[in-house]
């Protein structure tokens, strides 16, 4: 595939009110039984928030030049480092680097509501969290489908902040490969992204890549996260 960046905006996001509830660190089944007004507020936030989501994914796919000593070198001279990287991308022929964001309209709405209706603002923020999670999943699924169609395999999606691949250097490495400003994302000196509901990920593609474990196995929140994949 070409090494130039691609931008896609036509995403159908698959998430519902239960995902919004989980993004508020609550269990949907328990909340439905004991706090019906919480569900009603989350449903209202979801209905309002859907109109404010502007999903977009920036993606770049590059050949792997070499992989050794906890470092994957890409054909354009950039690199990805750390034991997590070589564990999962060591057999990759190419690496897909992506940035997903839902824009800032929903975030601005949540901030505007926070002065007068904090619970609703929190629910709107949770809609944003669920939406960007769904967007990232959709983008990763598309990469996997494209690879499968070509007779190839994919690694687990890896994101800066996972165990053995910290936010720094992870985000710096990602943004040496793709330019976040192409889709309106600004990165601060401390590597915080704005809009806040933005995530980065990388996926290895190759003929013989062994998928090791699940994404949540490499996350520091795996014992408490409501979004855990089982």
What are 149-184's pLDDT values in tens digits?
A: 999 999 999 999 999 899 999 999 999 999 999 999
Extents of the domains making up the chain: 15-214
Q: Would you say 165 and 82 are in contact if contact means Cβ atoms under 8 Å apart?
A: yes
Residue 147 DSSP symbol:
H
Name the CATH code of domain 15-214 (choices 3.40.30.10, 3.40.109.40, 3.20.19.10, 3.40.50.11540): 3.40.109.40
What are 29-70's pLDDT values in tens digits?
A: 999 999 999 999 999 999 999 999 999 999 999 999 999 889
Average of per-residue pLDDT across 95-110: 98
Distances (CA, A) of 110 to 10, 91, 121, 123: 24, 43, 5, 8
**Is 80 exceeded by the pLDDT of residue 228?**
no
pTM of the model: 0.90
Percent of the chain with pLDDT over 90: 86
């Amino acid at each position: 595939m070409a090494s130039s960046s691609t931008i896609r905006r036509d995403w159908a996001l698959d998430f519902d009110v239960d995902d919004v509830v989980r993004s508020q660190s609550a269990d949907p089944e328990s909340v439905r039984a004991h706090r019906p007004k919480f569900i009603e507020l989350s449903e209202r936030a979801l209905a309002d928030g859907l109109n404010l989501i502007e999903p977009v994914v920036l993606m770049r796919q590059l050949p792997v030049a070499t992989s050794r000593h906890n470092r994957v070198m890409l054909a354009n001279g950039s690199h990805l480092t750390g034991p997590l990287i070589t564990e999962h991308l060591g057999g990759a022929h190419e690496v897909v680097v992506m940035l997903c964001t839902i824009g800032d309209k929903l975030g601005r709405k949540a901030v505007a509501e926070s002065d007068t209706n904090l619970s609703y603002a929190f629910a709107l923020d949770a809609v944003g969290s669920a939406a960007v999670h769904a967007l990232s999943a959709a983008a990763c699924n598309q990469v996997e489908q494209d690879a499968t169609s070509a007779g190839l395999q994919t690694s687990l999606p890896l994101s800066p902040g996972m165990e053995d691949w910290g936010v720094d250097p992870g985000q710096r490495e990602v943004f040496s490969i793709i330019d976040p400003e192409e889709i309106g994302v600004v990165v601060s000196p401390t590597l915080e992204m704005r809009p806040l509901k933005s995530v980065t990920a990388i996926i290895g593609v190759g003929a013989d890549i062994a998928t090791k474990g699940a994404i949540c196995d490499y996350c520091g929140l795996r014992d408490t996260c409501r979004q855990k994949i089982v």
